[in-house]
Every structure is written in structure tokens, then in C-alpha cells.
Amino acid sequence: MPAWPLAAPTTLSVAAHAGPPGGASPWRNPRFRIFAAGNFANNVGEGAYKVALPLFAYETTDSLAVMSLLAALAPATLLLSPVLGVYVDRWGPRSFVVPGLLIQLAGAVALIVSGMAGDISVLAFFVFGAVVQIGGELYRAGWMAGVPGMFPDAAARSRGLLSTLFVLSNITGPLMLAALVPWVGYLGVLAINALTFLAPIAVWLIGVHPPRRLPKSGGMRVSLGGDLAQGWAAVRGERRVLYVKLSALPLHFVSGSGVMAFFFFHLADELAVGASTIGVAQATANAGALAGSLYVTSRSRASPRAVLAIAASGMTLALVVMPLQHALGFIALMALFFGLRSAVTCVSEMILVKFTSEHVLGRAAGLFNLMDGIPLLAAPLVIPLLHEALGSTGVFLTLGGVATVSLLLIRALWRDWGSGSDTMQRQSLVPPSAVTGVVRRRRCDTLTTGFPDRRTRDGMDRRPA
């Protein structure tokens, strides 16, 4: 296997920057392996942090409300995504990666120092917790928009594999928390999480990071609202991406953190299982999610419509059958349910990277994050009200009805998805005049193949930083 340089090459050729030739897996590219290792280390710390911070707050304040609101900080930052996306497209993804990590590190250190001083206030929890989350959103906006520039030969598959590693980190992080808390306490776990912010910075210093984007010359400056409008024009113009995202919205509502909490409540209250069994249920659901993500990223050909249709059907059926099950059957259905949900998430992220121009990817991702974030935030508010009015069985049936909306959307949009077969061969439907910097280009013949994309690299500087 040839040795691929770690620093960005000096040529504008995509092939020279691409890594392994042909249809090889991104894992054969050492640049991808280094980036994935740093990203995974950071996500493992984040997985432990998301559990440790609310528990530390509850231990310190003895307030369930504080604990719940701190847990809601992460999805709440999705509301910032459209604005961040505008500036990612203006300044380039590389402008957000390291600053985001440093902001996270500063917030985490301030939180740890306050905790070590004793008697940490509720205000400190929220202020420093918000700083960590905002820094994390900056970092994620940067690296996610930078994937096509870093790995242009297999951008969609690279994004899918990174999504799979994120699912794995959500399993590994809580396990690390459980192993370390008895020895180092919650503050120790928070300190370890702060250290993981240094892993992506080390990857950057090695030379694996988004390439420099040359500033645009001439032209009239566009307002923030105008930039968002251009991003929305790109989103509407590429139907394959828009239809996948629209069809998946009901599935996000029925499968977010609020629904997971309701499943645990049902196990404890209706099926009368203990805490250890609930722990097994969470581990099983996480394993199912990992399997679903791995299934999508390991396939050389994938039809987004088929993945969505199968997932929506399976999730609807699982929600309808769940109230009839004993504990073992319920846990098995949880694994199936979250496996299908993970497959939907993975294919949505891959198709976004594959069919969206790099010049509008930040705005498109930001707008879709906002669309996804609204149902994710709504579910924890609506489900308790539904339970009061309808009981557990009524909640399951209502969620099943919402999931059915995805099936109706898929059926309604199927014919208009695009002419011909669902093999992702067609050109982008965004006209060159719709958005500044958007160009027509022919893509790979499938969603997940590793054959090189023939991208236009206008405005991208391949010189080392």
C-alpha cells in the first residue's frame, strides 16, 4: 500500500489529495485514521461528560430541575446552527475547529476549578456548561463541513464512518464513567474529558485538518439573512437531500432522548424491572444503534429511500407492539428500534455530504440541524403531557402514529425524488446561479462507494498551513 502524506499536498489535483485510489475504504488512508482517532477520543470524553455533568449537578444541588436543564443544553445549541453555518461558509471550516476546542477547554477548566473550590453555584453550572456546549458546536460545525475537503475521494463514506464512531463513543463514554467515578469522582471524569479536547488539536498540529479556503474577491457583501436565504435555496434545490431530511423529521421526534427516557420509565413503572435491567436495556439499545450505523456504512451500495422506508416501517411496528411485551421482548424491540433510527441518521448525514456543495455545506447542515433540533426538543415536553392524558399505551400508539407520517411522506415524495433509479447518478439539481459558488458536478454512482468525486475545487488552497 502506498504511503500517503499527512500534510496537505501542494497540488490542486483531487486525486493527489484523495488518499487510497479506486474504491478503497477510507480506513486505508492514514490521514483519515489519524483524524478518526482524535475525533473518537474527543467523543468518548464527551459521552462521559454528558452523563457526568447532570449527575454532578444533582449531587451538588439536589435539584432534579437543574439536572434536567443541564442535560437540555446540548440539543439547545442546535438552535445556533444556521448562524454558525453562515460563518463556516464565509470563513471556511478550518476557522472553527481549534477555536471551538479551546473554548470548550476554557469552559471545562473553569467548571472544574469552581467545583474544586467547593459550593459551586447553579449559575456557574449553567454558564460554564453553556460555554462548553457552544465551543463544541463550533468545533462540530467546522470539522463536519471540512470532511469533503479533507477526504474528497470518499467524503460521504468518511462522514458515515465518523458517525458510526460517534455511536460507539456513546457506548464507551458512559462505560468509562461507570469505571472511573468510584476512583476519581465526577470532577475527575470532567478533568479527563477536558484532556480529550487536546486530541483533535494534536491531530491538527500533525497536519490533518480542513484545507485553507481562499477569500472571495469582488462582489457585493451579502447580509446574514441573505446568506441564510442562499443556503435555503441550495437546500430546496437538491431534492435528494431535502426529501430524505423531511421524511426523517417525524422519526427524530419519536426516537430522541425524551423517548429513551420514556422507555426507561415504562420498564421501571409498568414492567417493574430493577435498575440493573434498565442498564442492560440501555446497553442493548446502544448496541442496536451501533449495528444499524455499521450496516449502512459497510454497504457498497445503499438506497436512501429504501433505508428510510424500511426504518419507518420497522419503527412504527415496534412502537405499536411495545406495550404488549414483557421486559425481554421490550428490550429486544428497543434494540431494533434504535438500530433503525441509527441507520436513518447515518444515511441522512452521508447524503448531505455527498450532494451538497462545499460552498454551502455549513449553511445547509445548520438549517437541517435546526429542523432536526425542534422535534428533539419538543418530545421531552410533549410526552409527559401525553402520558398524563393517555397513559403509557396511549403514548406508544401516538408515537407510532407520528412515525407513520414518515411513511406517508416517503410515499408522497417517492415519484418526485428524481427520475430514473435511486442510484445517485444524476447531477445536482442546484443551478449554478442559485447560490454563490455552487457548481454542477456529476457524483458517484452510489451513496457509499469510494470512487473519486469529480468536484470542482474553486477557491480551495491545497498548500500546507
Q: Decide: helix, strand or coil at residue 104.
A: helix
Model pLDDT for residues 383-399, shown as the tens digit of each residue: 888 888 998 899 999 99
Longest alpha-carbon distance in the chain: 67
Percentage of residues in the chain having pLDDT higher than 90: 32
The CATH number of 235-449 is: 1.20.1250.20
Could you please state the CATH topology (level 3) that the domain comprising 1-219 is classified under. Answer: Growth Hormone; Chain: A; (1.20.1250)
Is the CA virtual torsion 62, 64, 70, 71 positive or negative?
A: positive
Distance CA 276, CA 83 (A): 43
Q: What is the structure's pLDDT at 241?
A: 86
Distance CA 33, CA 280 (A): 31
Q: Say what the pTM is.
A: 0.76
**Nearest 10 degrees: Cα torsion 264, 265, 266, 268:** 90
Alpha helices in 322-444 (DSSP H): 327-355, 361-413
Q: What is the structure's pLDDT at 127?
A: 92
Buried b (16+ CB within 10 A) or exposed e, 96-132: bbbebbebbbbbbbebbebbeeeebeeebbeebbebb
Dihedral pair phi/psi, residue 149, rounded to 5°:
-75, -35
CATH 1.20.1250.20 domain residues, the chain: 1-219, 235-449
Model pLDDT for residues 328-377, shown as the tens digit of each residue: 999 999 999 999 999 999 888 888 888 888 888 888 888 888 888 888 77
Residue 329 has, within 13 A of its CA and on its CB side, a CA count of 10
Model pLDDT for residues 412-436, shown as the tens digit of each residue: 887 766 543 344 333 333 333 333 3
Percentage of residues in the chain having pLDDT higher than 70: 81
- 213 versus 192: the higher-pLDDT residue is 192
Model pLDDT for residues 25-44, shown as the tens digit of each residue: 899 999 999 999 999 999 99
Model pLDDT for residues 248-289, shown as the tens digit of each residue: 999 988 988 778 878 888 888 888 887 678 778 888 888 999
C-alpha cell at 347: 444515511
Give the contacts of 230 (CB within 8 A, at least 6 positions apart).
Answer: 222, 360, 363, 434, 435, 436
Give the contacts of 229 (CB within 8 A, at least 6 positions apart).
Answer: none
Q: Which long-range contacts (CB under 8 A, 24 or more apart) does 437-440 make?
A: 437/216, 437/357, 437/359, 437/360, 438/234, 438/357, 438/359, 438/360, 439/357
